[in-house]
Every structure is written in structure tokens, then in C-alpha cells.
Amino acid sequence: MTFSFSVSIFRFNAKTDYLPYYKKHTLTFSPQDSLAQALAQAKTQDPLFDYPQGEHAAVKVNGVALSTTTSLQDIKATFGTELTIDALSSKRATKDLIIDTQDFYERFDLLAPYVQKVDREYFESLICLHYGSETLAYNPRFYGAAFFVFAKEMMEKYYEFKDQILAVVADPENGIWLHTPLAFTVFPAPANVEECVDALKNALAQSGVQAPQSFTTLSQQPATTTASLLEILGIADTAEPLDAIAEALGACVPKHPFSKFKTALFLGQTSDAPALERFIAFSGAKSTALSRTHQHCGAALFPHAKEIALKMGGDILLEAFDAGCDFVLVNDPLDFAFLETNQTAISKALNREVKIPVLTPAQLVLLSLGEFDKAALSSHTVKPTFID
């Protein structure tokens, strides 16, 4: 059995090209083949194409960092058969998918006085974690998740240097306080990164280092609107309220379809897409896919890394705005509060006005059903145009 991929591959030669471009390929493989074999086949079609090779070679597929040893069967199951393959860092590309990894090895050098040369091999195996770190796009000096995993392991291996290693980890400008989860930026989702980060934070706390203040405001609107919708639909307490609502909507007809409106769903660190997409389908609104739907919105970095946090949130809202969306749907209470209440500050950080309403998915369904709570909508920082 074979299957085909439609692939767009990032191309750039730092010596001759002013701008990067993408070249399309149609590639056919057996399920047991790896991404490295796909890249090799692309090179047979274009001998000038170059890509990283070796045990720790890695690239990004549809924006997600992964090893070139990943099987194409796993890639097909996760990303489908239409792929965009990029260098791990397009800003650091030297020749197509090959990048300058100096910044990665500079992180190893931070701990070089406390570790051995033999530890470099383990550090190299973590390269996907480094370039999967979202903060790196906003602060190129950020140490990155690979460094934190490495630091935790080295702290245990060379316990006599624990205090020195922790002092590096705790750097307020580039250290652990700027970390964001990698569940949707690295494939497969790394199992131990958050455990290592938590272990380092606990060790810092035990040594007397206080964590910076974080944005902890939780909006009540996601929970309140979901509860109202459950009550209206006659759904009793359930462990999976979103799925239950999505199922119940199959027997309902919207009184006020949103067919003239366009929206985008921001999921953040959740995996609720199937149910919430059915909410949008019920409303009749046109849905636009956000490339940043699983990006961190910046809330966990606010206010200690204020500019980075605001730019993270701003990039999400701007993508929706530039796509012509009338509003953005957000279901997580922390993400909702951050994106809904900080648009003035976000505008200043981006030096561009960002003004787009943020609703909960349940709120959209309630409006479609004719349940119009003007008081709740009027409390929004950016009010939807349809409440006037």
C-alpha cells in the first residue's frame, strides 16, 4: 500500500536569495517510510534542495517541530496529506531546511562549566524542544525548553553544582519564567518537559527564589454561558458538557443564524475543537481556521514579560482581524479574560489598533437560539456590533 503527499517545502539560500519561497512536490510512499526518505525523494526531483541529515535532524511540519525519523504514517494520521515543511527556524535558515544552530549550542555553553563534554550528545537530542518554544519568536535570547530539560537532568547528575545551575535557570529576562507549554508545537507531544520545568521551579522556590506575578484573572463568562446553555437545552450535570451540548444541538434549529458573520476559534492549550466546531456550524457563521489556534495567548507571561505576552495575544487577534473575522471565539476562562480585556495594551505593544470582539462559543449558540443577554454582552471591553 502506498499513499501520496502534496508538499510545499521552504526554500532559501542565504548567499543568493533575498526572500524565501516554497516549492511544491507530490511524493508517494509506503507507510513504513520516514520523513527523511520523503526529503530524499524531494532532492531527487530537485538536486539543489538541501535538508538536515543525521541522528538529530529535525524540521517543522505544518508549524510543528519533529524529527526527520518520524514515520510518514504517523505524519499522515496527525497532519493529513497536505504538508508544509519549514526549517526549524526560518529566520536562521542558511540553505533551505538547514539552519544555523549557533543559538542552540549557546544554551549548552551556559552550563558548560558544570557539565561534561559527553553530555553534549544528550543536549543535541533535545533540539526540537528548543525550536518548538514559542517565546523564542519574541525573544531570541530566551533559553528554551531544551535548556530547561537539560538543566534539570544535569542538576541531578552534578548535584554539587545545583545552586549554580539554578541561578542560570532563574534569569529574569531569558529564563524559566518565560516558558510556555509545548503540547502543540512539538510532535509527538513531549511527555517530560512540564515535569522538568515544574521540578526546576520547585527547586527555585525551595532555595528562596520567588516566582514572578502572573495573570490569574479568570473570566466567568465561559462557565456561565455554558451553564446557561446546558439549562436551556435541558441537559443534566455531565462530565463532558461541550460534547453533550454539541449532541443536543442536532435536534435544534437556530432562530437567528449568523450566516452573515465570520468567526475564528482560538483553542489555546485545549483539544475541544470537534465539539466547539459544531457550535459554530449550528450558528451558521463562516469559520476561519487560525494557524495560531493552539498558540499560547501570553497570559502566563503577563505581567512579568509584559511586551512578549501582549505581542503573543496580539498576533492571535490580528490573524483573525486580518482574515476578516467579526469576532473570535475563546472558551478557556484565562485566555478569554486576557484577550478580551487587554486589547488597548495589545494595540500599544503592536503599534497597531486591535479591536475585535471576543465571545465564548456557548454565547454564540445562545444568541443563535434567541437568548440575547444584552447586559452580559455590553460588559465586554470590545462590544459586538450586533448588540446595538
| Domain boundaries along the sequence of the chain | 3-99, 102-206, 221-387
Average pLDDT, the chain: 95
| CB 171 within 8 Å of CB 210 | no
Cα 320 from Cα 203, distance rounded (Å):
40
Q: Is the pTM of this model over 0.85?
A: yes
pLDDT digit string, tens, across residues 36-78: 999 999 999 999 999 999 999 999 999 999 999 999 999 999 9
Using the Cα atoms of residue 121, residue 123, residue 127 and residue 128 in order, give the sign of their dihedral: positive
Torsion angle in degrees (nearest 10) through CA of 161, 162, 167, 173:
110
pLDDT band of residue 3 (cuts 50, 70, 90) is: confident
Q: In what order do the strands lie in the sheet with 262-266?
A: 286-288, 262-266, 327-330, 358-359
Q: Give, in order, the Cα–Cα distances in Å from 206 to each of 156, 161, 163.
A: 15, 16, 11
Cα 149 from Cα 333, distance rounded (Å):
29
pLDDT band of residue 387 (cuts 50, 70, 90) is: low
Instruction: Return the DSSP state at 28.
Output: E
pLDDT at position 388 = 57
Q: Does domain 221-387 have CATH number 3.30.565.10?
A: no
Q: Are strands 3-11 and 21-29 parallel, antiparallel or unpaired?
A: antiparallel
Cα 65 from Cα 184, distance rounded (Å):
9
pLDDT at position 179 = 98
Q: CATH says 3-99 is which class?
A: alpha beta
274: cis peptide before it, omega within 30°? Answer: no
pLDDT at position 200 = 98
Domain covering 102-206 in this structure, CATH number? 1.10.1060.20
- Rounded average pLDDT over 201-217: 94
Tell me if 3-99 shares its fold with 102-206.
Answer: no
pLDDT at position 90 = 96
